[in-house]
């Protein structure tokens, strides 16, 4: 009897020649690094060098997070990935009433260029690749990063990294939006244009399915809604007057890796194939880099359990292996204790060591695309491709990603999937080790990392000093210039950079844009 995949299609007990929908060995798969990139975006993949090991970290103050980054680099991490706290993600300063109780809790608090200097103190930004998980205020954090790098003497043209900058998925699954979709897409296009001129090696967006998966999306929904959002960003850039091959090579993606290894590998292969064909056939891309779906992967935080947390080490290893076999370009492995609290230094180190064991102690990096020609994986890839395209068609029929978001299409489908998963877990049909089977009578005690609540008061004191020391007239003039650009058609990043350099705060800059663009309120809350 066939078992159903997470996306709802059958996984047959046996695959092979003549099996229903089995892989046809005569079918041309193509070569790694060649269109349609089913087998990977680079010809040599990990035989040349392993993926970037980019551990996501950030908590408390900028100084505390800086210490964690230095530890990760010392332990062999090859890239940084910054987590920001909720006030920063929502464009509020740490002393704002809405920030109370959340400062430094799920990421680092960044209120101004002063904090950004502390965050990267002693870290040479020209020689490290940095990813920043920030969306609605992505332009601000990117500019603060550039300003600090320039203070270090770095050449902006040599800076490498990624800013997530994917606000559409915030309306679907996560909620850290600020402005309505229209101005948000305008801001995204401004970032594309700015980086093309000023930061040519920077990845301008990481179009993200991860958060949709965490909210309950199936693998097919994760890919379909992510690629549909990608099409909306492409159209926004084209509408802003850019040519597809001017911006598309700097687009990147961000997906989850679950424990269902075979389906996850198939998901990544199908996503590459669909994106390549879409960019070439629908948008006329000619540069191969415009067609290659490069992506970062994070192991599935939603699959971690607070019960028997050490078992998460096994889950994360399987998830990481799925990402590697699927051809990821960079990877974050979750710490085993993240279902309980922020990772400790030891658990964060173990998470990094998991990647290092895969890269250096196994043979998965010895050959390109180890699953090529697998009857099971190739059949699942074909099924995944059909399922994803069918969902993308539904989004297009609704008028595209933005119109579908406004109608609640993606959100509703994800919520239905999440409800089904919860029902299956509650009934025991879906086995979760340590939760609904193989439980312990008594859990072992565990001491989690705690964020000091005094951080909020300390950040407020820093902000008070900043406002007393800076040139208030210079800040006001720069913010007025930003408002004029936002009301017109000029690229807002240039006046925004001047305001941030004058020590305007994140909240002040976002408030200036709120005055012009308004604030997004979901239809169901009206």
Task: Indicate the pairing of strand 10-11 with strand 3-4.
Answer: antiparallel
Q: pLDDT tens, 339-366?
A: 998 888 899 999 999 999 999 999 999 9
Angle of helix 506-517 relative to helix 138-151, nearest 10 degrees, comes to: 140
| Cα–Cα distance measured from residue 502 to residue 474, given in angstroms and rounded to the nearest whole number | 7
| Cα–Cα distance measured from residue 13 to residue 1, given in angstroms and rounded to the nearest whole number | 7
Please give the pLDDT value at position 25: 65
Sign of CA dihedral 376, 378, 381, 387: negative
Q: Which residue stretches of 36-180 are H helix?
A: 62-74, 86-89, 113-119, 138-151, 168-169
Q: pLDDT tens, 31-80?
A: 999 999 999 999 999 999 999 998 888 888 999 999 999 998 999 887 89
Dihedral in degrees, nearest 10, Cα atoms 493, 225, 336, 334: -40
Please give the pLDDT value at position 77: 82
Please give the pLDDT value at position 524: 63
Residue in the block written with tokens 């964690």: 68
Radius of gyration for the chain, computed over Cα atoms and rounded to the nearest angstrom: 23
* Beta-bridge partner residues of 132: 82, 163
Contact 301, 342 (CB under 8 A): no
pTM: 0.94
| Cα–Cα distance measured from residue 385 to residue 395, given in angstroms and rounded to the nearest whole number | 15
3-state DSSP of 374-405: CHHHHHHHHHHHHHHHHHHHHHHHCCCHHHHH
CATH code, domain with 83: 3.20.20.240
Angle of helix 409-427 relative to helix 219-239, nearest 10 degrees, comes to: 160
Please give the pLDDT value at position 23: 65
Residue 455 belongs to some domain of the structure: no
| Cα–Cα distance measured from residue 147 to residue 498, given in angstroms and rounded to the nearest whole number | 10
Residue 458 belongs to some domain of the structure: no
Residue 486 belongs to some domain of the structure: no
Task: Indicate the pairing of strand 330-332 with strand 295-299.
Answer: parallel
Contact 51, 24 (CB under 8 A): no
For 94, the token pair is 């740490």
Q: Which of 361, 366, 274 is nearest to 325 (CA)?
A: 366
Contact 38, 381 (CB under 8 A): yes
Residue 432 belongs to some domain of the structure: no
Residue 472 belongs to some domain of the structure: no
Bond into 342 cis (ω within 30): no
* Statement: residue 3 has pLDDT above 90: no
- Give the pLDDT band (50/70/90) at residue 20: low
What phi and psi, each to the nearest 5 degrees, are found at residue 197?
A: -85, -35
Q: pLDDT tens, 264-308?
A: 999 999 999 999 999 999 999 999 999 999 999 999 999 999 999
- Give the pLDDT band (50/70/90) at residue 21: low
Please give the pLDDT value at position 447: 79
| Cα–Cα distance measured from residue 475 to residue 509, given in angstroms and rounded to the nearest whole number | 10
For 124, the token pair is 């040479």
Please give the pLDDT value at position 1: 57
| Cα–Cα distance measured from residue 501 to residue 241, given in angstroms and rounded to the nearest whole number | 29
Please give the pLDDT value at position 345: 87
What phi and psi, each to the nearest 5 degrees, are found at residue 382?
A: -65, -45
Angle of helix 219-239 relative to helix 375-397, nearest 10 degrees, comes to: 50
Element (H, E) at 211: helix 210-214
Q: pLDDT tens, 150-169?
A: 999 999 999 999 999 999 99
- Which is more confident, 483 or 76? 483
Percent of the chain with pLDDT over 70: 98
User: Mean pLDDT over residues 235-258, rounded?
Assistant: 96
| Cα–Cα distance measured from residue 398 to residue 402, given in angstroms and rounded to the nearest whole number | 9
Q: In the 8-state DSSP scheme, what is residue 269? A: H
Residue 420 belongs to some domain of the structure: yes
Question: Terminal CA-to-CA distance of the chain, rounded, Å?
Answer: 48
Please give the pLDDT value at position 491: 98
Residue in the block written with tokens 């290092």: 356
* Statement: residue 186 has pLDDT above 70: yes
Q: Which of 94, 205, 18, 221 is nearest to 508 (CA)?
A: 94
Q: How many domains does the chain have?
A: 1
3-state DSSP of 56-71: EECCECHHHHHHHHHH
CA angle at residue 262 from 256 to 265, to 5 degrees?
50
Residue 113 belongs to some domain of the structure: yes
If you average pLDDT over every residue of the chain, what do you get? 95
Q: 478 burial class (0-12, 13-18, 19+ CB within 10 angstroms)?
A: buried
Contact 491, 194 (CB under 8 A): yes
Please give the pLDDT value at position 525: 52
* Domain ranges, residue 105: 3-427
Contact 242, 192 (CB under 8 A): yes
Residue 464 belongs to some domain of the structure: no
Q: In the 8-state DSSP scheme, what is residue 351? A: H
């Amino acid at each position: 009897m066939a078992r159903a995949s997470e996306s709802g299609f059958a996984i047959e007990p046996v695959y092979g020649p003549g099996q229903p929908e089995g892989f046809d060995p005569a079918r041309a798969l193509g070569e790694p690094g060649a269109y349609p990139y089913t087998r990977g975006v680079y010809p040599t993949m990990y035989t040349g060098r392993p993926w970037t090991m980019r551990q996501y970290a950030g908590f408390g103050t900028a100084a505390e997070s800086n210490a964690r980054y230095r530890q990760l680099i010392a332990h062999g991490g090859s890239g940084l990935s910054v987590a920001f706290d909720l006030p920063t993600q929502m464009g509020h300063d740490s002393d704002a009433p809405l920030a109370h109780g959340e400062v430094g809790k799920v990421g680092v608090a960044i209120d101004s260029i002063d904090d950004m200097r502390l965050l990267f103190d002693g870290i040479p930004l020209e020689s490290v690749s940095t990813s920043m998980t920030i969306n609605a205020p992505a332009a601000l954090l990117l500019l603060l990063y550039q300003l600090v790098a320039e203070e270090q003497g770095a050449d902006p043209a040599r800076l490498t990294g990624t800013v997530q900058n994917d606000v559409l998925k915030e309306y679907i699954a996560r909620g850290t939006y600020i402005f309505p979709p229209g101005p948000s897409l305008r801001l995204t296009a401004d970032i594309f244009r700015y980086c093309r001129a000023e930061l040519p090696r920077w990845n301008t967006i990481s179009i993200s399915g991860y958060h949709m998966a965490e909210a309950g999306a199936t693998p097919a929904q994760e890919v379909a809604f992510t690629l549909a959002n990608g099409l909306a960003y492409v159209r926004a850039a084209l509408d802003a007057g850019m040519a597809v091959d001017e911006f598309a090579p700097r687009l990147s993606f961000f997906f989850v890796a679950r424990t269902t290894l075979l389906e996850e590998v198939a998901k990544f292969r199908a996503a590459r194939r669909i994106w390549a064909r879409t960019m070439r056939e629908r948008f006329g891309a000619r540069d191969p880099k415009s067609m290659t779906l490069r992506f970062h992967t994070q192991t599935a935080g939603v699959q971690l359990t607070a019960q028997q947390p050490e078992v998460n080490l096994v889950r994360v290893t399987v998830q990481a292996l799925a990402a590697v076999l699927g051809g990821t370009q960079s990877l974050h492995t979750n710490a085993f204790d993240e279902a309980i609290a922020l990772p400790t230094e030891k658990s964060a180190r173990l998470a990094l060591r998991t990647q290092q064991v895969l890269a250096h102690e196994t043979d998965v990096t010895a050959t390109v695309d180890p699953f090529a020609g697998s009857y099971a994986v190739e059949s699942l890839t074909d099924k995944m491709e059909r399922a994803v395209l069918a969902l993308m068609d539904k989004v297009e029929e609704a008028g595209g990603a933005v119109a579908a978001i406004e109608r609640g299409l993606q959100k509703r489908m994800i919520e239905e999937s999440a409800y089904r998963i919860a029902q299956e877990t509650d009934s025991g049909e879906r086995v979760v080790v340590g939760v609904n089977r193989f439980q312990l009578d008594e859990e072992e005690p565990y001491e989690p990392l705690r964020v000091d609540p005094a951080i909020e008061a300390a950040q407020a004191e820093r902000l008070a000093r900043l406002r007393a020391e800076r040139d208030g007239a210079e800040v006001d003039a720069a913010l007025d210039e930003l408002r004029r650009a936002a009301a017109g058609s000029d690229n807002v990043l240039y006046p925004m950079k001047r305001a941030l350099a004058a020590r305007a705060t994140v909240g002040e800059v976002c408030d200036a844009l709120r005055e012009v663009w308004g604030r997004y309120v979901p239809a169901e809350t009206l």
